[in-house]
Structures are given as structure tokens and as C-alpha cells.
């Protein structure tokens, strides 16, 4: 990825957090960038193409974050992974998750978006499965599926009800059940 494309991706992140997906325009992304609209259009035909590449960018960042988990034990990695996915200590990520949820809603109508979210889901499932396997948990694939579904449900509740009170409790309950 070129420096110009990376700047566009970072500007897209900022614009998504500020405006959400529905109100996002190439102009609003350009407003967050040192690059103009013409530079964005040089790299991307339209908003959809940009967002699809942005989801790949986010997938790559997520994989890098997962690789950076290097605690002294699988249990500590699991704890960090839950913190990362639930955003227990990171209030800044909620605007982005809200925008991401808007984009995810498009997946039921658009195969391109569905594929991107399927890829993201697989990465998360694989990381939880790998971590649970390292912890010698029985049926790590099944447990990972349950945990990821629980985390996604908790995130949806947090975003729609504006209530983060239960996130720490959910994290502790997940850890207790493993």
C-alpha cells in the first residue's frame, strides 16, 4: 500500500468515526486528509470501492494486533484478546464500532460487503480457537464460536443501548466459563 493510500485509509477511519457510514462522502474523507478529492478518486472509483479496501486495511491491522499479543501465558493472551474485542478499556473505539455496524448492515444486501465481514469473522474465530487450544480448552472451535457470538452480541447491545456497564461482567463470565 502506498503512503497516499495509507493516508486515505487513516482519513477514512477518522471520517467514519465522525460521520458514520450513511453520511460518509469522498469529500468528508478528503476533509480529513492532506490529499484532495481528486487523489482519492485516482485510487478509488467510488465510496464502495474505498470502503471495501478500507475493510481489507482494517483486517490487516487486526491481524497485526493479534500477532502483537505476546503475554507470558495463553491465559493472559486470552484476557488481552477479550479486552481488545470488547473494548472494555477503550472508549475511543465506540464511534468506529458504530460506523462499522452500519457498514455490516449492508452485508445482508451486498455480497462484496458480506465477503469482507466473513473474512474478518474468520480471523477473529481463528485467533480465539488458537488461543483456547493453547489453553488446552476442550472443543476450542465450539468454544470460540460461542465466545465470538457472545462478544458480538455484547457489542451490539452496547452500541444500540449505549450501555457499557455489562461489558466487564461479560468478560469475567466468559473467563469463568472457560
Q: pLDDT tens track of the chain, all 178 residues?
A: 888 999 999 999 999 999 999 999 999 999 999 888 999 999 999 999 999 999 999 999 999 999 998 888 999 999 999 988 888 667 677 888 888 889 999 999 999 999 999 999 999 999 999 999 999 999 999 999 999 999 999 888 888 887 767 788 888 889 888 8
Tell me the C-alpha distance between 25 and 10, whole Å.
15
Number of helices (H), then strands (E), belonging to the chain: the values are 9, 0
Is residue 18 in a domain? yes
Instruction: Say how many domains are in the chain.
Output: 2
Q: Which of 111, 101, 105 is nearest to 161 (CA)?
A: 101
Is residue 152 in a domain? yes
The residues, ordered by sequence, that sit 6+ positions from 13 with a Cβ below 8 Å of its Cβ are 54, 96
Distances in whole angstroms, Cα of residue 11 to Cα of each of 60, 62, 85: 17, 18, 23
Tell me the C-alpha distance between 45 and 130, whole Å.
38
- Same domain, yes or no, for 42 and 84? no
- Same domain, yes or no, for 110 and 142? yes
pTM surpassing 0.85?
A: yes
Is residue 63 in a domain? no
Write down the pLDDT at residue 89: 67
The domain containing residue 167 runs over which residues? 69-177
Amino acid at each position: 500500500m502506498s503512503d497516499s493510500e495509507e493516508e486515505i485509509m487513516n482519513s477514512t477511519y477518522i471520517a467514519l468515526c465522525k460521520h458514520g457510514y450513511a453520511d460518509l462522502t469522498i469529500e468528508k474523507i478528503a476533509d480529513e486528509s492532506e490529499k484532495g478529492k481528486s487523489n482519492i478518486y485516482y485510487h478509488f472509483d467510488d465510496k464502495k470501492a474505498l470502503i471495501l479496501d478500507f475493510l481489507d486495511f482494517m483486517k490487516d491491522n487486526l491481524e497485526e494486533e493479534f500477532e502483537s499479543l505476546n503475554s507470558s501465558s495463553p491465559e493472559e493472551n486470552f484476557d488481552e484478546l477479550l479486552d481488545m474485542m470488547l473494548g472494555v478499556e477503550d472508549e475511543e473505539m465506540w464511534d468506529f464500532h458504530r460506523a462499522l455496524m452500519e457498514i455490516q448492515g449492508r452485508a445482508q444486501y451486498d455480497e462484496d460487503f458480506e465477503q469482507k465481514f466473513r473474512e474478518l469473522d474468520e480471523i477473529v474465530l481463528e485467533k480465539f480457537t488458537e488461543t483456547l487450544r493453547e489453553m488446552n480448552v476442550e472443543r476450542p472451535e465450539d468454544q470460540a464460536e460461542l465466545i465470538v457470538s457472545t462478544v458480538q452480541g455484547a457489542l451490539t447491545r452496547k452500541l444500540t443501548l449505549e450501555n457499557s456497564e455489562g461489558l466487564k461482567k461479560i468478560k469475567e463470565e466468559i473467563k469463568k466459563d472457560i
